[in-house]
Structure 1
Amino acid sequence: MTPTKPLAQIESLPNDILREIISQVATSSRRDVRHFMQSSPELAKSAPDKQVYKRLNLKPFAKNPLWALNNYTQLMERCLESGNMEAHYIKGIQQYFQHNNTNIGLEHLKKSADGLYADSIYLYGIIMTCRGQLEEGRTYLDKLEWKKNTARGDRCWRHIKRSLRGMTFLRKRRYLTTIRNNKPTRLCNLNDMDTRCHKCYYYKQMLKFVNVRTT
């Protein structure tokens, strides 16, 4: 069987089904979408679709937000316009940390968090907690179910630290004030950052955040 035969069968599908197929491919990687498009001009026509941009996997970009936004401006804008939650996470980091546009940055991070992007849930939650908006911040952190298992939140924090590399990180005075005012009792070992309970979890996560190294 020649390799063009199955491709011809795919090309004969209705456009809405083709777009759905490509959008599913997009969840795997941007490279797979490009290869898919190169295989046929007919398939390429269905690729610049809002649903494709919404689902496009941007994990390589999330590792280096500044590089992504500076080198793939048009692509990132299309992803943002299409409601790609990973794109909002990337934009939120750039605005909040690098440009100090805190309100705009938080808008993007909240949108991504409300879209259930885990890294944004953690980052928005810890920022709001450090800013003194404890109820809202803790509500978002609790969505990661750390009381059952801290692994998911810890994984998000590792991703976030990688995303923040090269960023300008300002230790705002309000962060330090919030941490000082919410120090747990001496019953918790505050020097052991890995052992966390309901009394010290938020405090230790805030400490990790304000002490993060981005260089």
Structure 2
Amino acid sequence: MTISSFNSLPQDLVIELCMHVVSTSSTPHEDLRSLRASCSRFFAASKEKIIGRRMPVKKMDGFRWSDIKNYLAFLKYCAESGNLEASYLLGLQEMYTSKDKKIKNSGLNHLLNAMEGGHKASTYVAGIILFKKPETRSLGTRILNKLAALGLSESSSSSTAPESESVMSGGNLLIQTCRREAAATIRDISWKRWHLRSRSPTCANRACGCVVKDHVVIDRWAGDDERRRFCSSRCKWMNELYEFCQLV
């Protein structure tokens, strides 16, 4: 393509070219920087919010380790452009690497913004964080119950059990997936761990938290992905909080 033919392209098409480059690149931030340096049209196109919204931020590990300050600034730009994954990563970064209450609150807000956009792992982490604090436990419970119900609706077996009963059960594949994904991401950005007292039964009901297989009670605290029955949402999510902290 000649310079004159490139200059004749509509700007919308130049933006599309930018999106294609960053979305298919293994080093999207470096390629975006090269595009910005190449000409004024690519520079202008790269500043469009849709580029930040489509940026594959999970591919920026090299940038994160080499220049954390600029990485976080760029992540914030992507989050402000509507990039849900950027909001999720920025939220975890601020929640788990800072002791400053204001920064932690900002991190929670980023997670809630991603949750509003339908980001499932953000929904899980926001729910767990809110559930952990007694003063926000009811809100955390509602968020986690909604996520569990979504997991049941995505499961082929969800139609075989009433939702109100199933949400009280363990073995929700979406919850397990979000737990592992969130824990792995947190471990990647921080070596800090939550410290909880030794796990104990969540309530006085001896049947609460027991593993059930073929309608037979097995035991109370067997493997984390076993199907369990809980007497309340509070008991279920208290168990989930422990399962999550075991992985982080």
TM-score, normalised via structure 2 length: 0.64
Match status 1:209 vs 2:209: no
Structure-2 residue corresponding to 1:158:
180
Q: Hey, what's the Cα distance between the residues in 2 that align with 1:182 and 1:30? A: 53
Residue type at the aligned position of 2:83:
N
Structure-1 residue corresponding to 2:123:
121
Q: How many residues align?
A: 206
Deviation of 1:66 (Å): 7.7
Unaligned stretches of 5+ residues in structure 2: 157-171, 212-218
Deviation of 1:155 (Å): 2.9
Deviation of 1:52 (Å): 0.3
Change beyond 3 A, Cα 1:110–1:167 = farther
Change beyond 3 A, Cα 1:197–1:191 = closer
Q: Hey, what's the Cα distance between the residues in 2 that align with 1:195 and 1:75? A: 41
Which stretch of structure 1 is more off in the superposition, 138-147 or 98-107? 138-147
Match status 1:145 vs 2:151: yes
Percent identity between matched residues is: 21
Change beyond 3 A, Cα 1:21–1:122 = farther
Structure-1 residue corresponding to 2:77:
78
Match status 1:185 vs 2:208: yes
Residue type at the aligned position of 2:90:
K
CA deviation digits over 1:146-195, x for unaligned, max 9?
4627444333322222211234233368xx89x83598616433222111
Structure-2 residue corresponding to 1:37:
35
Structure-1 residue corresponding to 2:164:
none
Q: CA-atom RMSD, angstroms?
A: 3.8
Residue type at the aligned position of 1:58:
V
TM-score, normalised via structure 1 length: 0.72
Deviation of 1:39 (Å): 10
Unaligned stretches of 5+ residues in structure 1: none
CA deviation digits over 1:126-147, x for unaligned, max 9?
2223332343232343264146
Q: Hey, what's the Cα distance between the residues in 2 that align with 1:139 and 1:120? A: 14
Change beyond 3 A, Cα 1:182–1:29 = farther
Structure-1 residue corresponding to 2:108:
106
Alignment check: 8 A CA contact 2:112 2:126 kept:
yes
Alignment check: 8 A CA contact 2:57 2:86 kept:
yes
Of the two, which has the highest radius of gyration? 2
Alignment check: 8 A CA contact 1:125 1:140 kept:
no
Q: Hey, what's the Cα distance between the residues in 1 that align with 2:26 and 2:5? A: 23
